[in-house]
Amino acid sequence: MTGFTRQDAMRCDAEDGLAGLRDRFHLPSGGVYLDGNSLGALPRDTEEAVGGLVRSQWGQDLIASWNRHDWIGAPQRLGGLIAPLVGARDTEVIVCDTTSVNLFKLIAAALAARPGRTTILSETGNFPTDLYMAQGVAGMRGDVALRTVAADDIVDAIDDRTALVLLTHVHYRTSRMLDMRAITRAAHARGALALWDLSHSAGAVPVALDACAVDLAVGCGYKYLNGGPGAPAFLFVADRLQPELRSPLSGWMGHASPFAFDDAYSPADGLSRFLCGTPPMLAMAALESGLAQFAGVDLDALFAKSRALCDLLILLMRERCGDLGFTLVSPRDPLRRGSHVSYAHPQAYPICQALIANGVVGDFRAPDVLRLGLAPLYLRFVDVFDAVETLRRIMTEGEWDRPSYHARARVT
Ligand SMILES: Cc1ncc(COP(=O)(O)O)c(C=O)c1O
């Protein structure tokens, strides 16, 4: 077979100025991890970051740690670490709750800020929790409904009834990246607000929230930010909107003065009003360690590497697996794509299981998608080559069809 060889991939790695970042992570030896878009890898520093907090802060300083180690400032401090990754000011990002809960808070806040408008507009096939949360808020209010249309029809569907345009920047299944600037502008032209889910974007592709005049955003801490399973999420509210928006979850941590213990709720100035309860400090420590891995990293180079890894995967799939029934469902244009690449195949589930059994960890998204995530902080070009080679062997030898690979697990 001609074309791009393993030696070529090794040469790309030798020339990769970011190659050393891989050493910051624990990765399974002998395997290829292509699921950093679902659960990011474990940074080597994280065990000590969490263990140290447990031993010397919780274990020794106990409750004094809230002040002494600034646990109380963790939501804002970690938000400040995420801000440069998403093109925001550090007063605009805060870490708290889950992405789902943050969606709830921001959807409800946005609807309250657009009284009389009756629609939340989203994409058909958006990530389920985004749609479910919109349905939940709409159901509680009774005067608002969720409307979904195909991604290409979003701009035309925005009208004077639209309160909020709710979209995911990089689609979880296809990796298609929507035009944040154009859609946000179209929302504003009709008086609507725009809320973007950055779960598959933050830390993997360029995001320019302020330059695109975005109003609201949310995102996951456990994917490309490497914060660990179930890590706290983040939310963004543009500075200009913070005084007018209110969280529907008026917990004490969002109060102007939590330790005044007033009976009446009065929201904090600024973004802290979107906090709800006590920060989960063990999880915050793991996320802070994940975020520290971006320190000093040239983000333009990182995002360029993400595009190059995805481009290589698409090239190799065409060269080496082109006749094996895979259909690319991700955009070929790297500027319209996130950091994962997806292929439809009628047997995607057992194929994915066979890959995992052979050390190549991707994931399956129903009904028929094999999803391969290429986290640029720790993946090598040779990993991409080896993954495609493993896939080709599994397919040509028929290994994918073993009965055990067809049994569905709860998490796919
Ligand atoms: C686009 C998107 N939003 C939200 C979530 C998850 O939200 P939560 O962390 O609340 O489960 C995911 C998880 O994969 C996702 O892909």
- Mean pLDDT across the stretch 299-326? 97
Q: Where are the domains of the chain?
A: 6-44+298-406, 48-292
The string of pLDDT tens digits covering residues 313-345 is 999 999 999 999 999 999 999 999 999 999 999
Q: Is the pLDDT of residue 1 over 70?
A: no
The string of pLDDT tens digits covering residues 29-83 is 889 999 999 999 999 999 999 999 999 999 999 999 999 999 999 999 999 999 9
381 lines ligand 1 (CB under 6 A): no
Q: How far is the CA of 59 from the centre of ligand 1 (A)?
A: 33
Share of the chain above pLDDT 90, in %: 97
The string of pLDDT tens digits covering residues 114-150 is 999 999 999 999 999 999 999 999 999 999 999 999 9
pLDDT of residue 409: 87
Active site includes 222?
A: yes
> How many helices and strands (H and E) does the chain possess?
12, 15
Active site includes 392?
A: no
Ligand 1, closest atom to CA 98? Answer: 10
Kindly state the tokens that stand for 51. Answer: 């263990």
pLDDT of residue 2: 65
Architecture of domain 6-44+298-406 in this structure = Alpha-Beta Complex (3.90)
Label residue 412 by pLDDT band (50, 70, 90).
Answer: confident
The string of pLDDT tens digits covering residues 387-410 is 999 999 999 999 999 999 998 888
125 lines ligand 1 (CB under 6 A): no
Active site includes 371?
A: yes
Its pTM stands at: 0.97
At residue 128, the 3 state secondary structure works out as: helix
Active site includes 265?
A: no
127 lines ligand 1 (CB under 6 A): yes
126 lines ligand 1 (CB under 6 A): no
Q: Residue of the nearest CA to atom 6 in ligand 1?
A: 99
Q: How far is the CA of 197 from the centre of ligand 1 (A)?
A: 9
129 lines ligand 1 (CB under 6 A): yes
Q: Decide: residue 320, CB within 10 A, 0-12 exposed, 13-18 middle, 19+ buried.
A: buried
The string of pLDDT tens digits covering residues 360-390 is 999 999 999 999 999 999 999 999 999 999 9
Ligand 1, closest atom to CA 99? Answer: 10
β-bridge pairing 119-123 and 145-149: parallel
- The residues, ordered by sequence, that sit 6+ positions from 323 with a Cβ below 8 Å of its Cβ are none
The string of pLDDT tens digits covering residues 143-167 is 999 999 999 999 999 999 999 999 9
Active site includes 55?
A: no
In words, the CATH class of domain 48-292 is alpha beta
197 lines ligand 1 (CB under 6 A): yes
pLDDT of residue 182: 98
100 lines ligand 1 (CB under 6 A): yes
Q: How far is the CA of 220 from the centre of ligand 1 (A)?
A: 6
At residue 217, the 3 state secondary structure works out as: strand
pLDDT of residue 13: 98
> What is the rounded CA–CA span in Å between residue 308 and residue 293?
21
pLDDT of residue 136: 98
Q: How far is the CA of 100 from the centre of ligand 1 (A)?
A: 7
Label residue 269 by pLDDT band (50, 70, 90).
Answer: very high
Alpha helices (H) along 266-407: 281-292, 299-321, 348-357, 381-396
Q: How far is the CA of 241 from the centre of ligand 1 (A)?
A: 24
Main-chain dihedrals φ then ψ at residue 305, nearest 5 degrees:
-65, -40
At residue 219, the 3 state secondary structure works out as: strand
102 lines ligand 1 (CB under 6 A): no
Neighbours of 352 (CB within 10 A): 25
Q: How far is the CA of 98 from the centre of ligand 1 (A)?
A: 8
pLDDT of residue 377: 98
